[in-house]
Structure 1
């Protein structure tokens, strides 16, 4: 599969990708290679990955706990301490083998250690392949608040090996698919029509769709690397989606939602808001929303839940001058940025989501 040219690095795929990886390791001649894994990728992904790595450089493995709740500065401190104890220097490199938590946190760890060492991302989940693989966003959460601490810095290489998808649960695959659905909504009706009819469990066809999703995101990032304008479109569904994800993570009474499950709800809410504030036709809103809903379980919200979710909106990274700004739509592939939304409309959007469940 043909490589994708990102900013100062490539996204490479499969067998050819390992050839690229080994060439970089030989060229860079790193002093030590550190591989960051969580306990899941240590068990399921590390051995097959190492079978494809050819290097004479010493390799050290660093393991962290799995899950979004460990994507924090405390985990970073632990990794920095291990790097120091194992004599990492500025000519060392960190290979991040895992999902979005590992690649986001690992990239941030690498950027800060000794003011920056090289890092390479090997995404092992569908979400990290289509979302974290391009764009250079690294970082960690601040309590339940998503990605509040971080920096934009590009890896030396991203290698996408779809064989790792076989290690995932259906729930994790479904979570990652939400980002692919989003890429369809914000990019083109053609890709939307393809991805909404596809199956996230059909790995044979999924490989081509993954590459298309990465290419869509890469085109946006190349135009606007620091999210001043067009790159904000990639946050479609994420303003309320991240708030919902944070609320369910923080609540003792709620079952946690995976990232894609929360973003799917956020996109449906954004669809409704787009009919009220932009030119999205109701028939298109309903068609897109029902298609999204066909992939995900229904979640119940009461007024107290919604009130707390709205409170969390003040932490959204797109906010400016005290205003919460949404990404909305005029049509599939026609995004409208920096839209203010009243709390009253947000309540109505949740009512739309609730009533859509009855159809």
Structure 2
């Protein structure tokens, strides 16, 4: 159930009352505790006992160790299967919190209150949960739908520009694989501001929702949403392991360029459309320096992608702007060629 809120946080309070949990827990990180949780709590009228679970911010916290600590806390507070976890934060909080909720006592209900553009239009939507394993993104996870997702766009005013840009990459991806008009509208923006982006958040979220509803467990069409992520996740994982983490959206933007290049080399995407995609990414995103990154190591990481089959690299590629194809086998040489193209942009 996707609930879109526009300054109507009271609806969250109403849903909590409807669920009537035995205990209530709010999961946040230090940033969302400071900037967002007060708004949530001040609009939550309930007599149900609640606790605040706070972790440090960052992808580095999306680990089995953190999950285990949260399970211990839930157990210590006597949380039973009727307890409710409300995840207030960005992609890390939603991924991690959803995983903890889906596994504690074989599953307790949870609600997502995404606070970043990335989580509002992508990470919180779709019922995927996950933690990283040895720096491999989302290597461990489950499929479990939250009770609801509340998009309260006022939270975006607390974000630094780099976080807006990170979420924008996923919005571009939705247009590239699903809706040409959405991509062109986004690419025509002159600047990335909360005011400029807000009109497109709901439409981007609903594009993803429509795909997820057709293929919840990712056996087919949902694999389209992997566009930009096979290469993007590899770069993100590599730099995370080197203690040089980059925002998820910047890695996806790199992946979009490289995987669009592969689409063109495969004779699917026209050169003019490839140039349009590349120029859009270059206008909004910094170029990530690949000169000191071992490309063979990146390709090795790509073999950890969950969509690969029988040890072969499987990519989602573009037919044209607005449509894609999934499960396409790609040889390492072509991946290397795409990375070298990007290296010298």
Category of TM-score, reference length = shorter chain: over 0.9
Segment drifting more, 257-266 vs 204-213: 204-213
Q: Deviations over 1:241-299 (max 9, x none)?
A: 000000011125xx321100001000100011001114211111111111111111112
In 2: Cα distance, 1:200 partner to 1:221 partner: 30
The reply on whether 1:192 has 2:183 as its aligned counterpart is yes
Match in the other structure for 2:239: 248
In 2: Cα distance, 1:319 partner to 1:278 partner: 22
**Which structure 2 residues correspond to residues 222-237 of structure 1 after superposition, within 5 A?**
222-237=213-228
The reply on whether 1:85 has 2:98 as its aligned counterpart is no
SS of the residue 2:262 aligns to: helix
In 2: Cα distance, 1:12 partner to 1:273 partner: 36
In 1: Cα distance, 2:191 partner to 2:32 partner: 20
Instruction: Indicate which of 3, 20, 23 corresponds to 1:11.
Output: 3
Match in the other structure for 1:325: 314
SS of the residue 1:294 aligns to: helix
Q: Cα distance, 1:303 vs. partner?
A: 7.5
Instruction: Indicate which of 293, 300, 308 corresponds to 2:289.
Output: 300
Contact 1:126 1:173 in 2 (8 A): yes
In 2: Cα distance, 1:304 partner to 1:47 partner: 42
In 1: Cα distance, 2:115 partner to 2:163 partner: 11
Match in the other structure for 2:279: 290
**Which structure 2 residues correspond to residues 236-275 of structure 1 after superposition, within 5 A?**
236-252=227-243, 255-275=244-264
In 2: Cα distance, 1:307 partner to 1:233 partner: 25
In 2: Cα distance, 1:223 partner to 1:230 partner: 8
Instruction: Indicate which of 17, 22, 29 corresponds to 1:26.
Output: 17
In 2: Cα distance, 1:121 partner to 1:247 partner: 29
Contact 2:313 2:331 in 1 (8 A): no
The reply on whether 1:150 has 2:153 as its aligned counterpart is no
Q: Deviations over 1:10-64 (max 9, x none)?
A: 3321234x23322221122111110001111111111112112121211210111
In 2: Cα distance, 1:37 partner to 1:303 partner: 35
Match in the other structure for 2:172: 181
Contact 2:90 2:114 in 1 (8 A): yes
Q: Cα distance, 1:200 vs. partner?
A: 6.5
The reply on whether 1:312 has 2:301 as its aligned counterpart is yes
Q: Deviations over 1:89-115 (max 9, x none)?
A: 111100000011111110111111111
SS of the residue 1:315 aligns to: coil
Unaligned 5+ segments in structure 2 are none
TM-score (norm 1): 0.93
In 2: Cα distance, 1:210 partner to 1:199 partner: 17
In 2: Cα distance, 1:176 partner to 1:348 partner: 27
Contact 1:199 1:206 in 2 (8 A): no
In 2: Cα distance, 1:354 partner to 1:93 partner: 47
Match in the other structure for 1:336: 325
SS of the residue 1:151 aligns to: coil
SS of the residue 2:184 aligns to: helix
Note closer, same or farther for the CA distance 1:137–1:125 as it changes in structure 2 (3 Å cut): same
In 1: Cα distance, 2:311 partner to 2:147 partner: 36
The reply on whether 1:162 has 2:153 as its aligned counterpart is yes
Contact 1:119 1:156 in 2 (8 A): yes
**Which structure 2 residues correspond to residues 127-146 of structure 1 after superposition, within 5 A?**
127-146=118-137
In 1: Cα distance, 2:64 partner to 2:256 partner: 29
Q: CA RMSD in A?
A: 1.4
Q: Deviations over 1:198-237 (max 9, x none)?
A: 2664323422200010010011111111111110010101
**Which structure 2 residues correspond to residues 26-65 of structure 1 after superposition, within 5 A?**
26-65=17-56
In 2: Cα distance, 1:104 partner to 1:40 partner: 17
